[in-house]
Amino acid sequence: MTNSKQILSFLFILILGCGSPQPRIGQETVTITDMLGREVIVPVNIERIVGLKAGALRMLVYMGLTEKISGVEDVERRPGRAYAFAQPQLTEKPIIGPMHGGDAELIAINAPDVIFMTNATIGEANDLQRRTGIPVVVIQPGNLTNRRNDFNQSLKTIAAVTGTEARADSLIHFIDHQIEELNRLSAQSRKKTETVYAGGISYSGARSITSTIPLFDAFLFVNAENVASELALKSNLPLTIGSTVEIDIEQLITWNPDRIFIDAAGRELVQPQIADGTPLHATLQAVQNNKIHFLMPHNWYSTNYETILTNAWYVASVLYPDAVTPQLFKEKSKTIYEYVLGNDVSEELIHMYNGWVCMQ
């Protein structure tokens, strides 16, 4: 073992001996309650933070805390997520371990003031806190629909720790306004509603046209008639909003929706399925009528909530062009990414995925 490794290991052993977090002498602290109901003692002045597991870092970026992020999981070196395009300096941060939880020794050496963690049990959070000697605060981001309270509370929990309450309140109001405006404009449209289907929805990688979401957020926000929504009523399993399922090709043929929206990450899998000479090309009116559209991927290490909103505006521009013009969609896309992530990344996403277009 090299001298440097011996020193790091010795330091880590010293840290482990601390057990639960020990505030520095003279350091002012406050006790907060995280989303698992754990009472966690954190410093009042937070200068260094990390986010562990899927979606944690994204929530910190939403809260405008990029400059305080002291380390990232190795997955952040891989491209594709909107927040990574918006905050490219994240790729230059020290690595604190692999995706889905990092490495306790590397986290301890990085020495953040607090760790924010998603998808954790009480036991996991307590264990990491014990092993690192650093406060662990668990958040549960939820979604923008039936678990919106969890999403909002995640922002508020981060705010309580970092002193960014104004940003949390502003972000919650901004998202509320976007959803309300989408609902209002789609309801006002005079255009006849078309049936729709979302296919190729990514989860743990790219998927084919049979991967869909029966209760698809981007459709719900614009009152679109999703043919797959009937599965939520028929399924023996409790399908929540945003849950992805696989259907049979025959079911899609039976539904025969007017328009199909495809997750652009699944483009290479979907296009051969609807090519000339295939059963889907011969039977689906959306294919025959050139009504296949590509959405931006919204699942990449958990949900890209800002992209769900932007996709909803794109869907509205396709279904209700009298109410949502292409120009309005572009303006909304720019506004959402700038406000939520700090920079407009529409062009970067288009360059990478070629979404928000009709298939030619």
Q: Is the pLDDT of residue 15 over 50?
A: no
Residue 13's pLDDT is 45
b/e code 251-282 from CB counts within 10 Å (16+ = b)? ebeebebbbbbbbbbbbebbeebbeeeeebee
| Residue 87 · residue 68 · CB < 8 Å | no
**Is residue 16 over pLDDT 70?**
no
Alpha carbons 344 and 355: distance in angstroms, whole number: 15
Q: How many CB atoms lie within 10 A of CB 180?
A: 11
Mean pLDDT of 155-160: 99
| Section 253-257 average pLDDT | 98
**Residue bearing tokens 């539904």:** 255
Question: DSSP labels for 46-104?
Answer: ---EEEESTTHHHHHHHTT-GGGB--B-GGGGS---HHHHH-GGGGGSPB-SSTTT--H
Please check whether residue 194 is in contact with residue 319, taking contact to mean a CB–CB distance below 8 angstroms.
Answer: yes
- Nearest alpha-carbon partner for 87 in 69, 74, 75, 101: 69
Alpha-carbon distance 179 to 338, whole Å? Answer: 17
Q: Would you state the pLDDT for residue 204?
A: 82
CATH superfamily, domain 3-163, is: Nitrogenase molybdenum iron protein domain (3.40.50.1980)
How far is residue 55's CA from residue 300's CA, in Å, rounded to a whole number?
Answer: 9
Give the pLDDT confidence score for residue 22 in this predicted structure: 57
**pTM (2 decimals)?**
0.91
Q: Apex CA 205: angle with CA 326 and CA 230, to 5°?
A: 65
Kindly report the average pLDDT of the chain as a whole number. Answer: 92
Fill in the amino acid letter for 113. Answer: D
What percentage of the chain carries pLDDT values higher than 70?
91
Query: What ranges make up the beta strands (E) of the chain?
Result: 29-33, 39-43, 49-52, 114-117, 136-138, 195-199, 211-212, 225-226, 245-246, 259-263, 292-295, 357-358
Amino acid at 219: F
pLDDT, one tens digit per residue, over 162-177 is: 999 999 999 999 999 9
Would you identify the CATH topology of the domain 173-358?
A: Rossmann fold (3.40.50)
Residue 18 has pLDDT above 60, yes or no: no
Q: In angstroms, rounded to a whole number, what is the distance separating the alpha carbons of residues 298 and 162?
A: 27
- pLDDT recorded at residue 203: 87
Residue 251 CA to its chain's centroid (Å): 29
* Average pLDDT of the segment spanning 97-123: 97
pLDDT for res 298: 95
Beta-carbon contacts of 333 under 8 Å, excluding residues fewer than 6 positions away, are 310, 313, 314, 344, 346, 356
| Domain 3-163 identical in fold to domain 173-358 | yes
Lowest mean pLDDT: which of 7-16, 60-69, 286-295, 309-318? 7-16
pLDDT of 71: 98
Tell me the domain boundaries of the chain.
3-163, 173-358
Q: Which of these, 224, 243, 55, lies nearest to 146 by C-alpha position?
A: 243
Question: Cβ(197)–Cβ(331) under 8 Å?
Answer: no
Is 80 exceeded by the pLDDT of residue 24?
no
**Cα 320 from Cα 329, distance rounded (Å):** 11
